[in-house]
Amino acid sequence: MTFYVSVIAQAQPFPYHLKCKSTNKCRVIYKRSYTPTIFYLSPRVTYAESYTEVFFNPANTLTLIKDLDTDEFPFINAKVGGNLIDFEFNEDSESTWSNWVLGSTRGQIGENTISKNQNITMMWETGRSAVAMAQSLFCDFDQSNCYQAKSLPVIYNISANIGYNTGG
């Protein structure tokens, strides 16, 4: 896939177009070989403050990412249905991932929106990752319920100030 770029420079009093001497110098070539891919979460069922692991293939993007600060990762964030996954407690400046090898990172789910199907997304320094649907989608035995990730509510405590000895 090839995109052609048109550049308009704003100059006073009128804008002017920059012209290329050849079309080879004025195009952007999109290559999937630099698009990271998410494969799946484990466990796929999450709740607020639970831990999950994201399995991904960086797909050669690590060669494109240069000059990261010591406290930065090659990925900016990962989300389950819009809910951020916090990696700060499990990854640090010494964490490494290899190109073209299935890697993973473990993080804690933040505030959770309850849903039977949550999409997985991951933003890298080079852009948004692709999702391998064949690996990321999990279905029940009868194929009636399929999801990438499922978010459930969490109960932190139960208080029984009043009630019957026999239950109820």
Host H or E run for residue 133: helix 133-136
**Residue 3 resides in a domain:** no
What's the CA gap between 163 and 148, in Å, rounded? 40
pTM: 0.71
Measured CA to CA, the distance from residue 59 to residue 32 in angstroms comes to 8
Tell me how far apart the alpha carbons of residues 96 and 62 are, in angstroms, rounded to a whole number. Answer: 10
The per-residue pLDDT for range 59-109, each reduced to its tens digit, is: 888 888 777 777 788 888 899 988 899 988 888 878 888 888 899 999 999
Locate 22 and state its tokens.
Answer: 């050849």
Provide the domain count of the chain.
Answer: 1
Q: Is residue 104 situated within a structural domain? A: yes
pLDDT tens per residue, range 22-47: 666 666 666 667 789 999 999 999 98
Biggest CA–CA distance in the chain, Å, is 88
Residue 66: domain span: 33-151
Cβ–Cβ < 8 Å for 118, 80: yes
| Domain containing residue 52: CATH number | 2.60.40.10
